Structures are given as C-alpha cells and as structure tokens.
Amino acid sequence: MHKVCYWDHNWLAHKLNNALLKKQLGNIRGVVYDLGCGTRPYEKEILAVADRYIGIDWANTLHGLHADIVANLNQPLPIESEVADTVISLQVMEHLCEPQIMLGEAFRILKAGGTVYITVPFQWWVHEAPYDFFRFTRYGLEYMLNKAGFVDVLVEESTGFWSMWSLKLNYQLDRINSPKVPKIIRWILLPLVLPIWVVNQIIAPLLDKIWPETRETAGYSVTARKP
C-alpha cells in the first residue's frame, strides 16, 4: 500500500487509493497482470488473494523500473492471449496516448470471465509531463470499456467535490516548496500552510458524506468483465 504521512499535502489521495484497492481485493484472483505497475505498491496485498502478480511497465518510467515485462502500453503487448484472471491498471490511462489500445490488450490477455480493475483521474493537475494526455468522464470510460468488448462495466467516483477541491487547493499551496521560492519565504509560510493541509483533508471526506456532489470528483474506479 502507499505510505500515508499525515503531514503531506496529498495524504488523502494515497489513503483514498489504498481504500479503493482494498475494496476490490475480493474481486482479484488467479494470475494478475498490473499494466503500468510503477513501484508495485499493491503487490503484497494482491498476492494475499491471488496466485501470481506480474508487473508491466515501459522503459521510460519515472518511478524506477520494477517491471517483470518491459513493454509500451500504447502498443500490442508481448503477452499471450487469455492468460490473465485479473488485469489492473491504476492511475495509468491518463499517461497513454493510445488508451484504447491498452484496453483492447487487457481484453485480449484476459481469460473468459476475467475481470479488469482500473482507476483514473478526472479533476487532477497535470503531472509527469509531457506524458499526461487525458482526463476521463464516467461516460467516456463506459464507452471505451464497451468498445473494447467488456460487459458489466461499473464506474464509481473516487471522491466527492470536497475531497477533490481540498486536494487541488493543497497542490496549489505546495508550490511554496518550489526551489524558486526563497528559503526564508518557505520557512515563514510552511507553519501557516501545514495546519490547512492536515485539517482540510480530515474534514473533506466528512463533507462529502454530509453534502454529496459527485459531478466533480478527483477520479473514478472502474470494474468490468470479459464475457
């Protein structure tokens, strides 16, 4: 799981992503292929419920190469058809210039009855530039998964408005840590900003329950099945 440090400006994002994965553990089984595995943060938890975990990533990853298979997800994968029971791809599709190819390959390598689990951002800042190409709505995700051949497509918001807004505010405030900001200014502002980071990430999920608004969300999680 991602480490959650409550002094970080974005600890809520890590906590939410961990919770989303935990929610899906009951649907993860057999041989699992992780498309865009990065640092493999969920390998331990996945292997507690699955038989095998195989990470795929490209050679230019910014997270250090930890893949079992090095491949470009924008192209056909060097993997045989119908070998996976589960395919996951977490916070990866926005970095693909050809995400439909990846979805088609996920469908191809899955066995009949296999499941795919995907998370993507919606209201999120540009990151890992220049490899940040898309933001997805629930309707776009449904269309793309159906086009790839999947059925039983279920799209769920990862947050409500308040968590999304708080994280965007915190990323903006984190600009005080830029090397362009003089150290003396950082030392002055950081004690003022830290309480905001901590408090708004505690309050925001509560507000999401009290005052729900799902038209604006930090992202989506998607599950679907190969018939």
DSSP character string of 38-99: TT-TTHHHHHTTSSEEEEEE-TT-TT----SEE--TTS--SS-SS-EEEEEEES-GGG-S-H
Please report the pLDDT score of residue 48 as a whole number. Answer: 97
Please report the pLDDT score of residue 12 as a whole number. Answer: 96
CATH architecture of the region 25-161+214-225: 3-Layer(aba) Sandwich (3.40)
Can you tell me the mean pLDDT for 14-32? 95
Asked if residues 107 and 81 have their Cβ atoms less than 8 Å apart, the reply is no
At 39-67, the pLDDT tens digits run: 999 999 999 999 999 999 999 888 889 99
Share of the chain above pLDDT 90, in %: 93
**pLDDT at 173 > cutoff 90:** yes
Please report the pLDDT score of residue 148 as a whole number. Answer: 98
Tell me the whole-structure pTM to 2 decimals.
Answer: 0.93
- Residue 16 sits at the vertex; the CA angle it makes with 13 and 22, to the nearest 5 degrees, is 145
